[in-house]
Amino acid sequence: MDKYQKVLLETEKTSVFFTCTSKKNSLVLNGGFNYDEDVYTLTQEEDIFSTKYEFVVKTNPNIETCTFLVNGEWQNASRKGTAFSVELDFENRVEKVKLTFADNIVDDYTFSVRYVEADKDLYYQKQEAERKANMLQSAQIKHSTGTDLINIYFQPCCSDYEYTEILLYIPQDYVTVGGPYGPVKKPSSWQMFKKCKVPAEDFYKSINGLAYGTYAYVIKQFDKKDNLLLETEYIEFSLKAPKQPIMGWINRI
pLDDT of residue 180: 74
pLDDT of residue 25: 84
**CATH for 121-239, options being 2.70.180.20, 3.30.10.20, 2.60.40.420, 2.60.40.10:** 2.60.40.10
User: What is the tens place of the pLDDT at every residue in 192-239?
Assistant: 999 999 988 999 999 999 999 999 999 999 999 999 999 999 999 999
pLDDT of residue 249: 58
Same CATH topology for 3-118 and 121-239: the answer is yes
Phi, psi dihedrals of residue 47, rounded to the nearest 5°: -70, 110
Q: Tell me the CATH class for 3-118.
A: mainly beta
pTM over 0.95: no
DSSP code of residue 4: H
pLDDT of residue 251: 56
The answer to whether residue 7 scores a pLDDT higher than 70 is: no
Q: Which residue has the higher pLDDT, 59 or 18?
A: 18
- Tell me the mean pLDDT in the region 11-18: 59
The answer to whether residue 32 scores a pLDDT higher than 60 is: yes
Please check whether residue 52 is in contact with residue 23, taking contact to mean a CB–CB distance below 8 angstroms: yes
Alpha carbons 80 and 56: distance in angstroms, whole number: 8
User: What is the tens place of the pLDDT at every residue in 128-184?
Assistant: 999 999 999 999 999 999 989 999 999 999 999 999 999 999 999 989 887 777 788
Kindly list the domain boundaries of the chain, sorted by start residue.
3-118, 121-239
Alpha carbons 99 and 114: distance in angstroms, whole number: 17
Mean pLDDT lowest for which of 58-62, 97-101, 193-197? 58-62
Closest CA to 98 of 126, 63, 132: 63
Alpha carbons 72 and 74: distance in angstroms, whole number: 7
